[in-house]
Amino acid sequence: MTINLAGGGSTPRKVRRARLIPIWALILGAFVLSLIGTSPHYIGSDSYVVGLIGKFLCFAIFALSIDLIWGFTGILSLGQAVYFGIGAYMVALSMKLNYTLENATRYGSNIPDFMEWNGLTEVPAFMAPLLSTPVAVALALAIPTLLAFIFGVITFKRHIYGVYCAVITLAEALILERFIVEYQAYTGGFNGITDYSNLRGAPFLWVIIAVTVVCLIGARALTHSRIGTVLKSIRDNDVRAEFMGYNVANYRIFVFCVSAFMAAGAGAMYAAWVGIVSFLDAGPMFSVEGVIWTAVGGRATLIGPFIGTFLVRGLEFVLSSSAWLSWLSEYWQFFMGALFIAVVLWIPDGIVGTIGNWLRKRGTGTLSQIRDDQDRLAHDRQRDWDPAGGTKPGKDPV
Amino acid sequence: MRKVRRRSFLQGSGAALGGLVLGGGAPFYFARNIAKAQEGDTIKVGILHSLSGTIAIIETSLHNAELLAIEEINAAGGINGKMIEPVIEDPQSLVQVFAEKAKKLILNDKVTAVLGCYTSASRQSVLPVFEEYNGVLLYPTLYEAQECSKNCFYTGAVPNQQLDDFEPWIVANLDRKKCYMIGSNYIYPKETNREWKALLEKSGAENMGEEYAPLGHTEFSTVINNIANSGADYVFSTLVGDSIVAFYKQFKQSGFTAEDVPICTPITTEQETAAMGAENAAGHYTSFNYFQTVDTPENKSFVERYKAKYGANEVTNAVMEAAYFQTYLLAQAIAKSGTEADALIFEGLPGQEFNAPQGPVKIDEKNHHTWLWARIGKAREDGQFDIVWTSKERIRPDPWVDYLYPNKDCDFTNQSVLDRLKKPWSEEKNRSGTMDI
Enclosing H/E stretch for A101 = helix A81-102
Interface of A with B in 49-88 (CB under 8 A): 49, 51-53, 55
| Nearest of A96, A182, A180 to residue B190 by alpha carbon | A182
* Inter-residue contact B273 to B383 (CB < 8 Å): yes
Whether residue B228 is contained in a domain is answered as yes
Which of A117, A118, A274 is the closest to B96 by Cβ?
A274
Spatial distance between the Cα atoms of A57 and A319, rounded to a whole number of angstroms: 20
Is residue B147 within 8 angstroms of chain A, CB to CB? yes
Biggest alpha carbon–alpha carbon distance for chain B? 94
Q: Which residues in B lie closer than 8 A to residue A325 (C-beta atoms)?
A: 51, 88-90
Residue in B closest to A43 by C-alpha? B27
Q: Rounded to 5 degrees, what are φ and ψ at B58? A: -70, -40
Domain extent at residue B214: 161-288
Which of B15, B94, B408 is the closest to A28 by Cβ?
B15
Residue in B closest to A182 by C-alpha? B214
Which of B14, B148, B215 is the closest to A303 by Cβ?
B14
Yes or no, beta carbons of A106 and B434 under 8 Å apart: yes
Q: What distances in angstroms separate CA B382 from CA A237, B2, B5, B303, B310, one per listed residue?
A: 62, 79, 71, 17, 20
Yes or no, beta carbons of A333 and B52 under 8 Å apart: yes
pLDDT for residue B222: 94
Mutation for B interface: A14, A17, A19, A49, most B CBs within 10 A: A49
Yes or no, beta carbons of A32 and B16 under 8 Å apart: yes
Whether residue B97 is contained in a domain is answered as no
pLDDT for residue A368: 60
pLDDT for residue A374: 65
pLDDT in tens, B207-230: 999 999 988 889 999 999 999 999
Enclosing H/E stretch for A33 = helix A23-37
Give just the sign of the alpha carbon dihedral A395, A397, B2, B3: negative
Whether residue B425 is contained in a domain is answered as no
Enclosing H/E stretch for B19 = helix B6-20
Whether residue B359 is contained in a domain is answered as no
pLDDT for residue A52: 93
Residue B204 burial (CB < 10 Å; 0-12/13-18/19+)? exposed
pLDDT for residue A376: 67
Spatial distance between the Cα atoms of A267 and A125, rounded to a whole number of angstroms: 24
Q: Which residues in A lie closer than 8 A to residue B432 (C-beta atoms)?
A: 106
pLDDT for residue A164: 92
* Inter-residue contact A357 to A346 (CB < 8 Å): no
Q: Partners of B371 in the beta sheet?
A: B362
Yes or no, beta carbons of A318 and B430 under 8 Å apart: no
CA angle B44, B45, B48 (to 5 degrees): 140
pLDDT for residue A282: 94
Query: For chain B, what percent of residues have pLDDT higher than 70?
Result: 91
Is residue B175 within 8 angstroms of chain A, CB to CB? no
* Inter-residue contact B68 to B311 (CB < 8 Å): no
Q: Supply the angle between the helices A350-362 and B6-20 in degrees, to the nearest 10.
A: 140
- Nearby residues of B202 by Cβ (< 8 Å), 6 or more positions away: B167, B403
Q: What is the mean pLDDT of each run of 10 residues along chain A (398 residues)?
A: 45 61 84 89 86 95 97 94 97 94 84 89 92 96 97 92 91 94 91 88 92 95 93 92 94 97 98 94 94 93 94 92 75 85 88 84 61 65 48 46
Is residue A317 within 8 angstroms of chain B, CB to CB? yes
Residue in B closest to A275 by C-alpha? B96
Residue in A closest to B92 by C-alpha? A320
- For residue B437, the tally of other CB atoms under 10 A from its CB is 10
Residue in B closest to A309 by C-alpha? B18
Yes or no, beta carbons of A194 and B408 under 8 Å apart: no
Spatial distance between the Cα atoms of B284 and A208, rounded to a whole number of angstroms: 55
CATH number where B264 lies? 3.40.50.2300
Please state the rounded mean pLDDT for residues B321-350: 96
Interface of B with A in 17-56 (CB under 8 A): 18-20, 22-23, 26-27, 29-30, 51-52, 56
What's the DSSP call for residue B181? E
Q: Which residues in A lie closer than 8 A to residue B190 (C-beta atoms)?
A: 117-118
Yes or no, beta carbons of B104 and A274 under 8 Å apart: no
Q: Supply the angle between the helices A248-274 and A133-156 in degrees, to the nearest 10.
A: 150
Residue in B closest to A45 by C-alpha? B107
* Inter-residue contact B296 to B270 (CB < 8 Å): no
- Nearby residues of A248 by Cβ (< 8 Å), 6 or more positions away: A156, A234, A238, A241, A242
Q: End-to-end CA distance of chain B: give it in Å, rounded.
A: 79
Task: Establish how many alpha carbons lie within 13 A of residue A174's alpha carbon, considering only the half-sphere containing its beta carbon.
Answer: 6
* Inter-residue contact A336 to A312 (CB < 8 Å): yes
Q: Supply the angle between the helices A350-362 and A284-297 in degrees, to the nearest 10.
A: 20
Q: In what order do the strands lie in the sheet with B359-363?
A: B353-356, B359-363, B370-371
Residue A35 C-alpha, separation from nearest chain B C-alpha, in angstroms: 6
- Nearby residues of A345 by Cβ (< 8 Å), 6 or more positions away: none
Interface of A with B in 275-314 (CB under 8 A): 275-276, 278, 280, 301-303, 306-307, 310-311, 314
Which of B2, B14, B27 is the closest to A307 by Cβ?
B14
Q: Which residues in B lie closer than 8 A to residue A96 (C-beta atoms)?
A: none
Whether residue B278 is contained in a domain is answered as yes
- For residue B23, the tally of other CB atoms under 10 A from its CB is 20
Local structure of B283: helix, strand or coil: coil
pLDDT for residue B395: 96
Please state the rounded mean pLDDT for residues B8-31: 44
Q: How confident is the model at residue B248 (pLDDT cuts 50, 70, 90)?
A: very high
pLDDT for residue A160: 87
Helix ranges (H only) for B115-202 are 120-133, 159-163, 166-169, 187-202
Whether residue B54 is contained in a domain is answered as no
Is residue B57 within 8 angstroms of chain A, CB to CB? no
Contact pairs from chain A to chain B, CB under 8 Å? 205
Spatial distance between the Cα atoms of B135 and B123, rounded to a whole number of angstroms: 13
Please state the rounded mean pLDDT for residues B351-369: 96
What's the one-letter identity of residue A250? N
Whether residue B142 is contained in a domain is answered as no
Query: For chain B, what percent of residues have pLDDT higher than 90?
Result: 78
- Nearby residues of A109 by Cβ (< 8 Å), 6 or more positions away: A100, A116
Please state the rounded mean pLDDT for residues B81-104: 93
Q: Quickly count helices (H) and strands (E) in chain B.
A: 16, 17
Q: Which residues in A lie closer than 8 A to residue B125 (C-beta atoms)?
A: 192, 194, 276, 278
pLDDT for residue B20: 40
The shares of helix, strand and coil residues in chain A, as percent rounded to the nearest 5, are 70, 0, 30
Whether residue B204 is contained in a domain is answered as yes
The total number of structural domains that make up chain B: 1
Q: Which residues in A lie closer than 8 A to residue B52 (C-beta atoms)?
A: 320, 330, 332-333
Spatial distance between the Cα atoms of B17 and A2, rounded to a whole number of angstroms: 36
Q: Which residues in A lie closer than 8 A to residue B4 (C-beta atoms)?
A: 22, 24
**pLDDT above 50: residue B25:** no
Q: How confident is the model at residue B375 (pLDDT cuts 50, 70, 90)?
A: very high
Yes or no, beta carbons of B125 and A352 under 8 Å apart: no
Long-range contacts of range A99-107, CB-CB < 8 Å, 24 or more positions apart? A99/A195, A99/A196, A99/A197, A100/A196, A101/A131, A103/B429, A103/B430, A104/B430, A106/B146, A106/B147, A106/B148, A106/B432, A106/B434, A107/B146
* Chain mean position to CA A354: 20
* Inter-residue contact A89 to A114 (CB < 8 Å): no
Spatial distance between the Cα atoms of A103 and A100, rounded to a whole number of angstroms: 5
